[in-house]
Structure 1
Amino acid sequence: MVEQVDVLVVGGGVNGVGIARDAVGRGLSVWLCERDDLASHTSSSSTKLIHGGLRYLEQFEFALVGKALAEREVLLRAAPHIIWPLRFVLPHQPHLRPEWMIRLGLLLYDHLGRGRRTLPGSRRIRFAKHVTGKALRDEFHAGFVYSDAWVQDARLVVLNAMDAARRGARIQTHTRCVSARREDDGWTVELEARDGARHVVKARALVNATGPWAAEFLDDVAHVKHDRSLRLVKGSHIVVPRMFDHRYAYIFQQPDRRIVFAIPYERDFTLLGTTDVDYTGDPSHPVITAEEVAYLCDAANRYFRKQLTSDDIVWTYSGVRPLLEDDSGKASEVTRDYLLDVDRNGPPLLSVFGGKLTTFRKLSEEALDILAPLLGNDRPAWTADARPLPGGGERDIEALLDDVRSSRPWLSETLAWRLVHSYGTRARDLLGEARGLYDLGEHFGADLYQAEVDYLVRHEWATAAEDILWRRSKLGLRFAPPDVQRLTDYLSTADRRDTFGMIKLL
């Protein structure tokens, strides 16, 4: 039997799930297929910021920065449990950028795109009187502080997929799009599950949200001629033991005029990134190079008292950004804006080129503003003022945390904090009627228990240890190899989903 849908989305990164969510919310029937796990590539390998991109002002990308700053406010409302404000400190080095330039840039940043409604504005600080000065080398006397936001990037993808599924979309993970054939009455698409089973879907419109593989999809799967090209740029990060004891992040100017962030990470660590390196390898498996490690360590050592070496690194990750080719000389100067390309030579095909994490919702909205009318759908955009994403129903996360802890005093402060900042109000569903840790089932390592694993399998498409330890959480930083194997063995015996990755949702 051939299934019929309005829109088939190929790609389970942030843009794909955002488009699926917007489409189903406008009353269209939607399927999404993802070859691997949700957010398994670019969308889980970001610097994990919801920000306008201060450095893009030097490239005169005012429209992009304004759009991103406006989106920052929308996303803070949509998912306050996984997105929260973060203050950034920029130590001043006069020989890199004069003070007037930084002041002007921050003034623009505070006000572009109506972006600062709830966050405090920028100001100048002296390090002798500010908590962030203690970690810096003696030559730094003054700097600036401004606001942006932090996000658990892979969880943002999963929550959008959950909301899309809650509204009626069908989400299929570990399902490859083998072929897409354009016919007079729509697209005939063949999907292949992980076990080799094949399934045919008939779609009125096709969305190519395959990220780094967007051009390849057009060439090898849809067989559609195009003149678009992507520039693949690798961004790498390192994680080291915590380098400072406060909640601020740092933004460091480099001699090559790039910037590197140092961000509090998972409570006990510091995240340093990112690099910008042109990339020609397999986008599925980018790996940090020794040169990138040296670059990030040197970037930190120019500013911090504590000096880093490669021996301090506890984890690295790299991602490939599919940026819209604009003939820029340096990888760091390629635009982070996006292009939505619609092929109307028959049933519509919409391809996403470029983009950044912060603007995914706006990208999705614009995509449906184009695509929906082609399908006879005139429903207006809706996601900017929609109810929060799953778990985001309480804006006061500290009050929610207090409630969870007071009603379950047997939870450690660390575990309660992690559950609330991962699942929000759904932490209560996950914990259920448990009256102690013993009610949470098998303990796999760190603070991961069977109840959470089962929740992730049933409601968040997790199938493997990597999905849980490195995307649904970052508990991989605290797991020993025997713990990983025990979790893997448990998941291998759990038969909780059908061939095409359909799951039960709360």
Structure 2
Amino acid sequence: MNGSENIRAASFELDPIQCDVLVVGGGINGCGIARDLAGRGFKVVLCEQDDLAAHTSSASTKLIHGGLRYLEYYEFSLVRKALAEREVLLKSAPHIMWPLRFVMPHDPAMRPAWMIRAGLFLYDHLAKREVLPGSRSVDLRRHPAGAPLKSRYKRGFVYSDGWVDDARLVVLNALDARARGAQILTGTRCVAARRGTEGWLCTLETADHAARAVQAKALVNAAGPWAEAFLRGAATPAGGESLAKRSLRLVQGSHIVVPRMFQHDHAYIFQNPDQRIIFAIPYQQDFTLIGTTDLELEGHDPRAGRITPGEIDYLCEQASRYFERAVTPADVVWTYSGVRPLLDDASGDPSAVTRDYLLERHIEAAPLLSVWGGKITTFRKLAEDAADAVGEMLNDRRPAWTETAPLAGGDLASWLPVESRRLPPDAQFERFVQEVQRRHPWLDAALARRWSRAYGTRIAQVLGDAAAMADLGAAVAPGVFERELRYLADEEWARTGDDVLWRRSKLGLHLDPSQREAVAAWMRRFAVTPSLSAAR
């Protein structure tokens, strides 16, 4: 059955879903754009072929950062934009984002000290800072960050960036989009998109081949690693020339997780002999996250991205150049890889390919906006620019609004006394945890903190009318109660064990295989399969 027949069959059984904008792709860019457009009053439908953040957006290094190394490639505009966004984001969701101090041990064989100082001076001053402290030099023989390092590293530099739970950031955008009227359809692929003079007629299809037509005034292609393939396939005009005028470079970035390498709360940025850098970051209390690599993906299937033995060896070797205790492949307890969809700018070195984004408008008939590239730190600005562009193409401009708006669960100040609302975001979070424990003294302290981190003020929806630990239902696995799983299935589009254990949380790191299987079995039994018949 071809695309046109799909559309006819879908619309024969059910009336088409009517919307202003169909967004294809449930990663950070797609969910951010859906949120922004919905908040401007547009009727929005978002479809994602898998789970939210199932691919690139859950496989980042988990940093909200300007990109210190991009200064060497003269990407000043990108760095300035990203630095300005750091504090906007830190204020919008302090439960899943917080400041993080980074230590760069100085290796004279890499870059001279004057170059590092100059780079950090620019990093401190390219954009306004209110929350994050500036950089400084440190004596690693006295600073706690020097203790795990080899003794030859005597001097270092400390600067600020931010940490983010990347997959939850995507979900928070989707929750906010839905709260503002958007329909979020996971497990749903756009298999055909046909362009008319007044709109788009598209076919959405679920994994069980149920189909539904969507009539949209505009189409946003935010398919990430699939953005080019979408234009060459589903959105190709019947008998016409492909809409794809640009090419993506699919670059794999891989990470390893090892048992905790150090006890302090700083992260490290290490310079490598190949002029790249890697990070070593405190992770999930008991672990250290090390990454990332830049490896050109062979072939054109983004699902093929898997860490290679060579990447594991590379990350272990580079980390071991700095840590007194060597990191070996035998230490690795988990790995993950993400495929970055970078706009092909003819750079020979994958590390040098720009991380900036480009929004491409197709206005020959019904509006189409394609999103090329981007990085997680600039997603909100990208979404704002995209929503502006869609409004212009529809001749219906509406004002931006997201710069000062909290994300779902991020309005921690609403739970706090007035005098606490002027505290920095990370301090507000600690007061929020105290308030959760005050309101629910029966709640296990570790669980109260974990749920505060994950859900922010939406912890009220998770808890519901619970008044005792027994009201949370059975413990499906240690620390994982039925009430939380029900919330994730009903409210956050979770359908499988992996959705819960590796995207909505990282509980998979803390559970053994039998415990992970217990969670997966519960989800198979109780989670609801996505349905297009209920879509409006």
Q: Calculate the TM-score normalised by the size of structure 2.
A: 0.91
In structure 1, what residue type is equivalent to 2:498? E
For residue 68 of structure 1, the aligned residue among 47, 58, 82 is 82
In structure 2, what residue type is equivalent to 1:364? A
Deviations 1:328-360 (A, max 9, x none): 111111100111111111001110111000001
Structure 1: distance between partners of 2:319 and 2:184: 41
Aligned counterpart, 1:145: 158
Q: Which runs of 5+ in 1 are unaligned?
A: none
Aligned counterpart, 2:397: 378
| Aligned pairs for 1:137-176 within 5 A | 137-176=150-189
Aligned counterpart, 1:210: 223
Q: Is the 8 A contact 2:186 2:530 kept in 1?
A: no
Q: Is the 8 A contact 1:404 1:428 kept in 2?
A: no
Distance 1:498 1:352, change over 3 A: closer
**1:369 matches 2:388:** yes
How far 1:406 moved relative to its partner?
3.4
In structure 2, what residue type is equivalent to 1:27? G
Q: Which runs of 5+ in 2 are unaligned?
A: 1-14, 237-241, 414-424
Aligned counterpart, 1:30: 44
Identity of aligned residues (%): 56
For residue 123 of structure 1, the aligned residue among 116, 136, 159 is 136
In structure 2, what residue type is equivalent to 1:112? L
Structure 2: distance between partners of 1:225 and 1:133: 54
Q: Is the 8 A contact 2:495 2:528 kept in 1?
A: no
| Aligned pairs for 1:396-475 within 5 A | 396-475=428-507
Q: Is the 8 A contact 2:96 2:164 kept in 1?
A: yes
How far 1:39 moved relative to its partner?
0.3
Aligned counterpart, 1:230: 248
Q: Is the 8 A contact 2:97 2:165 kept in 1?
A: yes
Q: Is the 8 A contact 1:76 1:83 kept in 2?
A: yes
Q: Calculate the TM-score normalised by the size of structure 1.
A: 0.97
Structure 1: distance between partners of 2:527 and 2:504: 20
How far 1:101 moved relative to its partner?
0.5
How far 1:21 moved relative to its partner?
0.8
Structure 2: distance between partners of 1:414 and 1:295: 36
For residue 44 of structure 1, the aligned residue among 58, 73, 89 is 58
**1:275 matches 2:302:** no
Aligned counterpart, 1:491: 523
RMSD: 1.5
Aligned counterpart, 2:199: 186
**1:247 matches 2:260:** no
Helix, strand or coil: the match of 1:87?
strand
How far 1:288 moved relative to its partner?
0.6
Aligned counterpart, 1:256: 274
Structure 2: distance between partners of 1:492 and 1:274: 33
| Aligned pairs for 1:79-98 within 5 A | 79-98=93-112
Distance 1:498 1:251, change over 3 A: closer
Deviations 1:235-278 (A, max 9, x none): 00000000000110000000001000000000110000000011
| Aligned pairs for 1:287-366 within 5 A | 287-366=306-385
Q: Is the 8 A contact 1:15 1:364 kept in 2?
A: yes
Q: Is the 8 A contact 1:163 1:390 kept in 2?
A: no
Q: What is the number of residues matched between the two proteins?
A: 502
Helix, strand or coil: the match of 2:127?
helix
Q: Is the 8 A contact 1:89 1:146 kept in 2?
A: yes
Distance 1:215 1:62, change over 3 A: same
Structure 2: distance between partners of 1:262 and 1:495: 36
For residue 53 of structure 1, the aligned residue among 55, 67, 79 is 67
Structure 1: distance between partners of 2:264 and 2:445: 18
